[in-house]
A and B are shown apart, each in its own frame.
Chain A
Amino acid sequence: MRQRLPLLVFLALLVLGPAILPEFYITLLNYIGLYAIVTLGLVLLTGVGGLMSFGQAAFVGLGAYTTAYLSTAHAVSPWLALLVGLAITAVVALFLGFLTLRLSGHYLPLGTIAWGISLYFLFGNLDFLGGHTGLTSIPVLGLFGYELNTGREFYYLIWAVLLAAVLATQSLLDSREGRAIRALKGGSLMAESMGVNTARSKTVIFLIAALFACVSGWLYAHLQRFVNPTPFGLHIGIEYLFMAVVGGVVHVWGAIVGAGVITVLKQWLQDLLPRLLGQSGNFEAIVFGILMIFVLQRMRDGIWPLLLRLVPVKAARRREIAQAEPLPQRQLPAIGTLLLEVKGASKHFGGLIANNNMDLTVKAGEVMALIGPNGAGKSTMFNCISGVDPVTSGEVRFLGERVDHLRSREIARRGMGRTFQHVRLLPTMSVLENVALGAHLRGSKGVLAASLHLERAEEARLLAEARRQLERVGLGDCLFDEAGSLPLGQQRVLEIARALCVDPCLLLLDEPAAGLRYMEKQALADLLRKLRGEGMGILLVEHDMDFVMGLADRVVVMEFGEKISEGLPEEVQRDPVVLEAYLGGVE
């Protein structure tokens, strides 16, 4: 209850607001609400997803102009016009997303700048949209028979929409789809290896942000009851971005704070500065620009975290994981089945040959170790097999099927789990959530269900599975710690749990024992033996020879990108070629 107190106080103030506040403040709050809806989309897009759009104001314009035009020229119901506006927005957003989201990160902002400018000039030059003077006498919005004539009445609609959007966004982020979205910033490559379609996740958040903006524009048109191109120009698009950054770009509530601060500040500066400078103009831009530079240099997380410190509430880290029915598991192939077959695989980076004509097999129920000096090309081989960085030539077959042309997420779906040599996890997400990311492909509920939290049963099963795997690798005590706070060795073990969550039949482990203490290595070896006993195939890269030789059934030795030896551990250990590679030869 104490946890929810600030929220309840905030809600109570919101409800009471119109009863006590004068008209001026209601208007201000209405605009803050409208801007916050747009900013919320940007928080999702920029703060959470690491993407950026300057075109949000144009999406607001799309929503506003659609309803303005349809309801004045064709007497269409505003509610129908809202649907039309959303549909148009969706089409535009999907198209822009298709164009830019598969390219590197800076193409989306540049693309949206161009889109923002184009739409602004289009609004201003199309006669049926009223040109630069715009459209007037937009009808009043009716809701359950009431007409929302005044700002006071509109206030409740705006803030209800905003709160619904905030809650839906929060719910979305706390779900399977949400974890995939949160992995976009700094974890795309890892997420793809866990089966996440990152291009789709990016498109989803760009679409959501655009739809929020469109709804805000629709509300704006019926509140203001006239539209012209000015509030939909690029500089307003930039202002939305400033709101998100000032408020706290990774926090959903930061959107409201940011919209509030910038709106009030703008109001105040627009009064003050022209008097101070003795001429009229948008001088608040100077202050905003400098403020932004300061925020980004000194307090990149914005105002929201500062506010949180004032409130005596600790964020709820620890929470119950409901007992849930275990997820269905893959039928592992019979022991001895050929799982992986690499034939003549080569990988070139420009002129550098990292792998040359490599052959390798892994069977179900065996541990195959891939060893060799540093720089021999072992991790490159891993990337080739798992589709992270495909082979230049040669074949990779997994369960009899050629997979060398497949993306890493498609290979993961076929039952391959992997860890990374340089740990790839999301340091600010909890250990549990990091591991649950591995189970991404074992859930199916979509974004809409997640936003409404209709997928709780499935979510409980995913989290229970993540906990099960964490307990299995011995991390059951730190489920709710931030993943980045674990020692490096345990982060590697976390990656094993995550790979196990994929429900693989082949496990690729890249130096899993590095950074572990003796007892922990023993426990890891026991776990791998147990997995092998269950019929899993394991491909292992490791430098700890005691660990490798005590565990591996077969060993392949690489040097300079080529296989120099293969056989049983004791054979390989006696092979003079191997001794020369490791020890520089015996003269």
Chain B
Amino acid sequence: MNLQIALLLGQDGIVNGAIYALLALALVLVFAVTRVIYIPQGEFVSYGALTLAAFQTGRTPGTLWFLLAAGAVVAAIDIVIAVRAGALGRIGRIVLWNLALPAIVAGLVFWLESDKLPLAIQVVLTLAIVVPLGPMVYRLAFQPVAEASVLVLLIVSVAVHTAMVGLGLLFFGAEGSRTPPFSEAQFQLGGLVVNGQTLWVLGASAVLIVALYVFFERTLYGKALRATAINRVGARLMGISSTMAGKLSFTLAAGIGAFSGILIAPITTIYYDTGFLIGLKGFVAGIIGGLASYPLAAAGAILVGLLESFSSFWASAFKEVIVFTLIIPVLLWRSLTSHHVEEEE
């Protein structure tokens, strides 16, 4: 290995690490607010990337049908509940978010010729399809068991993952896709060639992280989420609905997941099940942060990215093995430093 290759691998590692960092933030957020270990996060990465890829080849992405169907089911359930509770005033909002909005998105997709649109519009359409799936998944799978143990929530989470991977195969087929980069530009930086896409990924990750920071520190909803993360019951007593907090955190996670997919799709070929592994690497990063600390998780993510790119150079067949065994020393350290009996409710 010479310096040239090392720099190249380093660049690769940091780019992937930035994506893992975004995912790790989303995972820590979802876990803190809802206690859900959010395994399906990776599916949103795949859905984001492959929906965009479908637009670019002029196909109608299957996720659109999923959005319409999921919206219809959520609306049906919520309307029945609202009618039974005599709260007819709620129906307008239910219809707007779950039926009208998906219908508008579908209308736009059919009306516009998606493959002729500029990339930016395609990205917006992709997000408009994939992001609303987040709160819908929360409503259908998690909200009815929101008070269950971490263990039950985890099994639900795995079940959602399993179903969404199967649906991904149905929507997009077994072939992988790659999307064109946001920018074809290349820069010479000393001996290093920096791709435009690299800068896009790093820039977008930085902007998103800052935006999240501002959201949590400065906005009422951000503070509500933080309050829920610290003390669910206390937050509820202060009028913060845990359902709202759950849906909001799932929306954010879906947004981060889908956007990560869009960012990474020009760099690596995405298959219907690629997101899972990418999401798990986010988890490795999250575990490094103890599923609690955002900065440690982000640092862990960069470490995972670098480890991955360097091990793909030295021992590419064992890349995944090396990345996933990284959690052993982390767990060892945590295990040796913590010693109290935990009561799992």
Q: Which residues of A contact B (CB under 8 A)?
A: 46, 50, 52, 54, 98-100, 102-107, 109-111, 113-115, 117-118, 121-122, 125, 185-186, 188-189, 192, 198, 235, 238, 241-242, 245, 277, 279, 281-293, 296-297, 300, 407-408
Contacts and interface: CB of A to CB of B under 8 A. Distances in A.
Nearest to B39: A113
Interface residues of B, number: 52
B14 interface: no
B7 interface: no
Interface of B: 37, 140-141, 144-145, 148-152, 154-156, 158-167, 169-170, 173-174, 277, 280, 283-284, 287, 291, 317-318, 320-321, 324-325, 327-328, 331-332, 334-335, 338-339, 341-345
A312 to B, nearest CB: 31
B165 A285 contact: yes
Contacts of B169: 281-283
Contacts of B152: 296, 300
B170 A281 contact: yes
Contact of A50 (B151, B160, B164, B331): B151
A467 to B, nearest CB: 29
A411 to B, nearest CB: 13
B342 A99 contact: no
A407 B334 CA distance: 19
B71 to A, nearest CB: 17
B166 A104 contact: no
B345 A288 contact: no
Contacts of B140: 293
B284 A114 contact: yes
A114 B324 contact: yes
Given A100-B331, A105-B344, A111-B331, 14 more contacts: A46-B151, A52-B155, A105-B150, A188-B344, A242-B159, A282-B166, A285-B162, A285-B166, A289-B159, A289-B161, A289-B162, A289-B164, A297-B145, A407-B341
Q: Can you list the 3 inter-chain pairs with the closest CB atoms, starting with the nearest?
A: A289-B163, A285-B166, A292-B159
Contacts of A287: 166
| Interface secondary structure of B, over-half rule | helix
Contacts of B321: 118, 121-122, 125
Contacts of B338: 102-103
Nearest to A288: B162
A185 B345 CA distance: 8
Contact of B344 (A186, A242, A285): A186
Nearest to A100: B331
Given A286-B163, A296-B156, A281 B150 contact: no
A52 B148 CA distance: 15
Contacts of B149: 50
A110 B173 contact: no
A545 to B, nearest CB: 32
8 contacts: A50-B149, A99-B332, A109-B154, A118-B325, A285-B165, A286-B167, A286-B170, A288-B163
A102 B339 contact: yes
B133 to A, nearest CB: 14
A241 B331 contact: no
A100 B169 CA distance: 33
Contacts of A102: 335, 338-339
A103 B331 CA distance: 8
B158 A241 contact: yes
A130 B30 CA distance: 41
Given A100-B331, A296-B156, A117 B280 contact: yes
A484 to B, nearest CB: 15
A186 B163 contact: no
A290 B163 contact: yes
Contacts of B154: 52, 106, 109
Contacts of B37: 106, 109-110
Contact of B343 (A98, A110, A189): A189
B151 A105 contact: yes
